[in-house]
């Protein structure tokens, strides 16, 4: 029997029920289409190019103890990337800062993970011309999150090197914070298969690049090096350069071979989601003596001290 075009082809739940999402969402507040919403109600169209084609850029900043850390650097990067992708935002910089602060304040979180996102959006005709899509701005604040949990921060992460190649800069400019994560997710699954906790992927020349949501540093004889190519220029990575210049330590961006990173005295990863996080094992190799090293400890301690310093951080309430 053929069904008439107007008849539903299956039993659909009532609209109200379809919008009831039974999964748990982190407790947070989002902003989209001019409204502040509970996280569970922040939804986009499946026709958004951001969802269909990964045509989206975003930035993540964190709030610690009521203060945004390096918000200006995150806003600079976000606005630069919007321009690179030829997107347009309906808000200026001060308005975005206020929206982020409102999300944090409404969420009630004193320490938060805060995202600003711009997707290409959708066009009413499902046009294949990206210029016809209406760009969409979304922001949200969730409880502060970290790549490494408490135990991993204390004993150091165990990482596996995946020989999956990070999307080359000739395909996608890695300075544009993007959602092209299939390589990173593949690296993660390889790392889990190996019994490690997270992964590092390589660039087209086989040098270490970065991991899912973080940059990496190697310390050898008191000097720091971080991969120069095929990486997002992380704000935390830049912060490590800034802290090193304050402490008189040498730090540079360079090519790092897998063998070199395994032979380092200390290794740590950097991300807005967690800050500076120690690594004590890469594949089967213990890093240094297998314990969190003194350079990592010194930088971590200064990093967190800067969160209370007004020249490095901004009170959320000052932006409301
Ligand atoms: N590399 C990638 C691929 C990332 O997604 C991130 C952050 O999400 C980082 C590095 C670290 O960047 P930041 O220090 O700005 O958080």
Residues 158 and 303 placed together within one structural domain of the fold? yes
* Per-residue pLDDT at 251: 98
Residues 131 and 240 placed together within one structural domain of the fold? no
Residue ranges, the chain, pLDDT below 50: 1-8
First and final CA of the chain: distance in angstroms? 61
320 within some domain? no
> Which protein residue has the closest C-alpha to ligand 1 atom 9?
214
Residue 272 CB less than 6 A away from ligand 1: yes
Q: How many CB atoms lie within 10 A of CB 108?
A: 12
* Domain end position, chosen among 110, 143, 176: 143
What is the extent of the structural domain holding 267? Answer: 150-307
Give the span between the Cα atoms of 43 and 313, in whole angstroms.
Answer: 31
CA–centroid distance, residue 60 to ligand 1 (Å):
8
Residues 285 and 155 placed together within one structural domain of the fold? yes
* Per-residue pLDDT at 85: 98
Please report where in the chains the tokens 């951001």 appear, as a residue. 50
> Would you list the DSSP string of 13-53?
PPHHHHT---S---S-EEEETTEEEEGGG----TT-HHHHH
Give the span between the Cα atoms of 88 and 111, in whole angstroms.
Answer: 30
Q: Atom of ligand 1 at shortest distance to CA of 210? A: 1
15 within some domain? no
Secondary structure element (H or E) that encloses residue 201, with its range: strand 198-202
Residues 295 and 277 placed together within one structural domain of the fold? yes
312 within some domain? no
Residues 54 and 129 placed together within one structural domain of the fold? yes
User: Strand 112-122 relative to strand 157-165: parallel, antiparallel, unpaired?
Assistant: unpaired
* Domain end position, chosen among 125, 143, 161: 143
Residue 210 CB less than 6 A away from ligand 1: yes
Asked if 54 contacts 178 with a C-beta cutoff of 8 angstroms, the reply is yes
9 within some domain? no
Helix/strand number for the chain, H first, E second: 9, 15
317 within some domain? no
Whole-number CA gyration radius for the chain? 21
Q: Atom of ligand 1 at shortest distance to CA of 177? A: 5
| Number of domains observed in the structure of the chain | 2
* Per-residue pLDDT at 18: 57
* Per-residue pLDDT at 9: 53
> Would you list the DSSP string of 56-108?
EEEEEEEEETTEEESHHHHHHHHHHHHHHTT---SS-HHHHHHHHHHHHHHHT
- Any residues with CB less than 8 A from the CB of 119 and at least 6 apart, and which? 44, 48, 49, 50, 51, 55, 56, 135, 136, 138
Residue 271 CB less than 6 A away from ligand 1: yes
Give the span between the Cα atoms of 98 and 84, in whole angstroms.
Answer: 24
Residue 57 CB less than 6 A away from ligand 1: no
Residues 293 and 201 placed together within one structural domain of the fold? yes
Residues 179 and 285 placed together within one structural domain of the fold? yes
Residue 178 CB less than 6 A away from ligand 1: no
232 within some domain? yes
Residues 155 and 301 placed together within one structural domain of the fold? yes
313 within some domain? no
Residues 154 and 285 placed together within one structural domain of the fold? yes
Q: Give the CATH number, domain containing residue 99.
A: 3.30.470.10
The string of pLDDT tens digits covering residues 61-88 is: 999 999 999 999 999 999 999 999 999 9
Q: Give the CATH number, domain containing residue 158.
A: 3.20.10.10
> Which protein residue has the closest C-alpha to ligand 1 atom 5?
213
14 within some domain? no
> Which protein residue has the closest C-alpha to ligand 1 atom 3?
213
Residues 56 and 86 placed together within one structural domain of the fold? yes
Mutate to test the pocket of ligand 1, among 145, 183, 232, 299 (most ligand atoms within 8 A of CB): 232
* Domain end position, chosen among 102, 123, 143: 143
Residue 183 CB less than 6 A away from ligand 1: no
CA–centroid distance, residue 215 to ligand 1 (Å):
6
Asked if 72 contacts 59 with a C-beta cutoff of 8 angstroms, the reply is no
> Is 16 exposed, middle or buried, given 0-12, 13-18 or 19+ CB atoms closer than 10 A?
exposed
- 281, two tokens: 């094992």
Residues 121 and 160 placed together within one structural domain of the fold? no
CA–centroid distance, residue 120 to ligand 1 (Å):
21
CA–centroid distance, residue 181 to ligand 1 (Å):
12
């Amino acid at each position: 029997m053929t069904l008439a075009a107007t008849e539903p082809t299956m039993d659909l739940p009532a609209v109200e029920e379809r919008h009831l999402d039974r999964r748990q969402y982190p407790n947070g507040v989002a902003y989209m289409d001019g409204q502040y919403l509970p996280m569970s109600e922040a939804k986009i169209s499946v026709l958004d190019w951001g969802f269909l084609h990964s045509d989206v850029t975003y930035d993540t900043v964190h709030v610690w103890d009521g203060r945004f850390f390096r918000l200006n650097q995150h806003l600079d990067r976000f606005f630069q990337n919007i321009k690179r992708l030829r997107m347009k935002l309906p808000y200026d910089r001060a308005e975005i800062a206020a929206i982020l602060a409102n999300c944090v304040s409404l969420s009630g979180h004193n320490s938060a993970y805060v995202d600003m996102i711009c997707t290409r959006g959708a066009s009413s005709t499902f046009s294949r011309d990206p210029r016809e899509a209406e760009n969409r701005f979304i922001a949200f604040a969730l409880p502060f999150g970290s790549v490494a949990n408490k135990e991993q921060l204390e004993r150091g992460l165990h990482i596996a090197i995946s020989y999956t190649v990070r999307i080359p800069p000739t395909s996608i400019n890695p300075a544009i914070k993007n959602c092209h994560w299939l390589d990173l997710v593949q690296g993660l699954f390889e790392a889990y298969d190996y019994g490690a906790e997270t992964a590092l992927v390589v660039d087209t020349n086989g040098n270490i690049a970065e991991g899912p949501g973080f940059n990496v540093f190697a310390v050898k004889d008191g000097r720091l090096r971080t991969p120069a190519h095929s990486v997002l220029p992380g704000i935390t990575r830049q912060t490590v350069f800034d802290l090193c210049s304050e402490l008189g330590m040498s730090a540079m961006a360079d090519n790092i071979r897998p063998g070199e990173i395994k032979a380092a005295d200390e290794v740590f990863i950097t991300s807005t989601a967690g800050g500076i996080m120690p690594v004590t094992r890469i594949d089967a190799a213990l890093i240094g003596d297998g314990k969190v090293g003194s350079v990592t400890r010194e930088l971590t301690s200064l990093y967190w001290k800067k969160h209370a310093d007004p020249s490095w951080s901004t009170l959320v309430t000052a932006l409301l």
